[in-house]
């Protein structure tokens, strides 16, 4: 089934749900006018529909290969990447003084959603480069910015992040890669990194690796880690490509999904690198890139949810099986008439909308923090980021699994393409910090303010629910009550002096918070529609059927850790 970019849906969410107009009213983003936004979404939508979506299946069936030390990408991917760079879409949110468009991250989120929904494996490449652009913009020396940023922003060069090592996993502080000073401002970088997405390709240009490594006599753990730029080819002063650097792709991982995206094992053997940021401050610099990527990964989950939903909708409207309850009553005569299939289709649609609204609200907070320098916006963006990443990816996983179920037995047969969405999206809950790590960050670091931002968001939800009560009394009351339950759970979290008690319920707390925010945004959609229309009906479905899940999540969240440690290890593993 052809992919159709949800351009109209994006316009509605931006205009009516997340308050994007306030971003466009700032001096920083004054060029993000409604006409500009519509033109960009329309053009990127055409690119996604006509160029990228036809590559998606081929990337799955004809994966990237390593041949004689060279990564060969899936057929058509090179042309697809060229189309992305020709449109200037890699640099949409990048600084204008280095060749970018300087447009809001919120709009960039929309573009990356369309890329992920049409072909996630290829769309991952510019997403990584965008993260590297932001890291260099904030931490690189001026000469490096002048040399690298124009090339990365144009897409002529691409960027990666190199964190993980075989023995370290998510414990980045356990890495052993070394950086030895040469005495001339360069360093010799040695070590092996795994899970490096788009670590190499045959698109031409340079592949620029940001690598975490440890200087001689550096402190143990994350306090002794520095960040280095280690390019595949050492650039000449004029930006042309010089000698090949001492690095190579050892192998490509054989993955569950996103087969068209080469995931590399990289080896650095006294490769030449340059310091980015200060010595032993590499984690701070890398987190700039990772925070950008975390929202981007949530967006990937939402894009896959969209693609899987459209695939399932098309099948449900085509598949005829058995006698439907609406035969002769204006039904379609297809499985879309069955109540359980309708439940699944509505769940896909409702959760995709909720996840998209949360992610774009996070994007708006990032843009407002950038444009105004206001600390409250910055705190809001930081708090929403783990929710956007986790709920976006969990929604992608759930929706793609429902898509397989709607296909029935054919969903388990690869030729239908339904399973690809489920396989492709599964990694998003793992990379850029697992969803468990996101949730622990939320209940610990993001609540160091005593829960002030969490409470501010809850207050906002309740105020909107109060305003909705006149026209939507049942829906408004349900959202308000859910927010009160969330407030009580938040107060419990803040009161726990033992962080492990918070961590034991971190994931259900985050999911409960997301459920309430989803109810809030669906209620806003009903209010914007102003009557008994499709958005109001979808809001009622979400608030009546999905929002009640928050109670179970939050009950789980406030159990503490004692019952988990009442088990012996042997009991848990027997």
Q: Which two tokens stand for residue 234?
A: 């050492």
**176: which DSSP letter?**
-
Half-sphere exposure of 189 (CA within 13 A, CB side): 31
Determine the Cα–Cα distance for residues 418 and 79; give it in Å rounded to an integer.
25
How many CA within 13 A on the CB side of residue 401? 7
Q: Which tokens hold the place of 95?
A: 């600084």
Closest to 479 (Cα-Cα) out of 388, 550, 383: 550
User: Is 432 one of the catalytic residues?
Assistant: yes
- Dihedral over Cα of 337, 338, 339, 345: its sign: negative
3-state helix/strand/coil string of 370-402 = HHHCCHHHHHHHHHHHHHHHHHHHHHHHHHHHH
| Residues 477, 527: Cα–Cα separation, whole Å | 14
C-alpha dihedral (557, 109, 382, 350), degrees to nearest 10: -20
Cα distances (Å, whole numbers) of residue 552 to 51, 374, 469, 539, 549: 43, 35, 25, 20, 5
Cβ–Cβ under 8 Å, residues 473 and 527 = no
Q: Torsion angle, CA of 463/490/486/12, rounded to 10 degrees?
A: 60
For residues 178 and 186, is the Cβ–Cβ distance under 8 A? no
> CA–CA separation, 491 vs 443, rounded Å?
11
84: left (phi over 0), alpha (psi -120 to 50) or beta: alpha
Q: Which of 394, 401, 432, 462 is catalytic?
A: 432
**Mind telling me the catalytic residues?**
432
């Amino acid at each position: 089934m052809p992919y159709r970019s949800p351009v109209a849906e994006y316009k509605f969410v931006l205009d009516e749900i997340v308050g994007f107009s306030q971003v466009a009213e700032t001096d920083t983003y004054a060029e993000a006018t409604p006409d500009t936004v519509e033109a960009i979404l329309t053009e990127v939508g055409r690119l996604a529909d006509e160029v990228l979506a036809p590559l998606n299946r081929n990337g799955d069936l004809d994966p990237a290969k390593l041949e004689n030390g060279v990564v060969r990408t899936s057929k058509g991917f090179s042309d697809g990447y060229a189309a992305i760079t020709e449109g200037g879409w890699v640099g949409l949110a990048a600084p204008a003084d280095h060749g970018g468009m300087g447009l809001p991250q919120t709009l960039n989120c929309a573009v990356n959603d369309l890329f992920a929904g049409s072909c996630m494996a290829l769309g991952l490449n510019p997403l990584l480069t965008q993260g590297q652009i932001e890291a260099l913009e904030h931490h690189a020396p001026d000469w490096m910015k002048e040399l690298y940023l124009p090339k990365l922003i144009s897409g002529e060069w691409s960027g990666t992040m190199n964190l993980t090592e075989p023995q370290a996993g998510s414990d980045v502080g356990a890495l052993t890669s070394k950086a030895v000073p040469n005495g001339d401002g360069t360093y010799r970088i040695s070590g092996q990194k795994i899970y490096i997405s788009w670590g190499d390709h045959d698109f031409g240009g340079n592949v620029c690796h940001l690598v975490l490594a440890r200087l001689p006599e550096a402190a143990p753990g994350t306090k002794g880690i520095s960040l280095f730029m280690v390019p595949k080819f050492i650039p000449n002063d004029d930006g042309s490509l010089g000698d090949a650097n001492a690095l190579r792709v050892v192998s490509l991982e054989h993955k569950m999904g996103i087969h068209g995206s080469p995931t590399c094992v990289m080896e650095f053997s006294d490769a030449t690198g340059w310091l980015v940021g200060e010595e032993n401050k590499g984690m701070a610099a890398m987190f700039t890139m990772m925070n950008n990527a975390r929202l981007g990964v949530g967006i990937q989950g939402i894009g896959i949810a969209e693609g899987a939903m459209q695939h399932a909708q098309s099948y449900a409207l085509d598949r005829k099986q058995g006698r439907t309850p609406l035969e002769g009553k204006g039904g379609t005569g297809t499985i879309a008439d069955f109540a359980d299939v309708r439940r699944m289709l509505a769940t896909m649609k409702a959760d995709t909308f909720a996840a998209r609204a949360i992610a774009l609200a996070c994007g708006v907070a990032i843009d407002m923090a950038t444009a105004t320098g206001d600390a409250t916006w910055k705190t809001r963006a930081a708090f929403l980021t783990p929710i956007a990443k986790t709920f976006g990816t969990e929604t992608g996983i759930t929706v793609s699994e429902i898509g397989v179920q709607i296909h029935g037995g054919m969903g388990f047969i690869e030729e239908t393409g339904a399973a690809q969405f489920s396989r492709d999206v599964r990694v998003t809950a793992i990379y850029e910090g697992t969803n468990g790590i996101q949730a622990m960050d939320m209940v610990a670091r993001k609540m160091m303010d005593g829960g002030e931002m969490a409470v501010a968001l809850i207050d906002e939800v309740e105020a909107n629910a109060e305003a909705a009560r006149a026209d939507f009394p049942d829906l408004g009351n349900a959202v308000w009550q859910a927010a009160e339950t969330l407030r009580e759970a938040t107060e419990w979290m803040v009161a726990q002096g033992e962080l492990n008690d918070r961590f034991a319920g971190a994931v259900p707390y985050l999911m409960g918070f997301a459920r309430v925010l989803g109810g809030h945004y669906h209620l806003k959609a009903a209010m914007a529609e102003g009557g008994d229309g499709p958005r109001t009906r979808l809001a009622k479905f979400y608030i009546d059927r999905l929002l009640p899940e928050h109670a179970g999540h939050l009950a789980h969240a406030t159990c503490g850790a004692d019952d988990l440690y009442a088990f012996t290890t042997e009991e848990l593993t027997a």
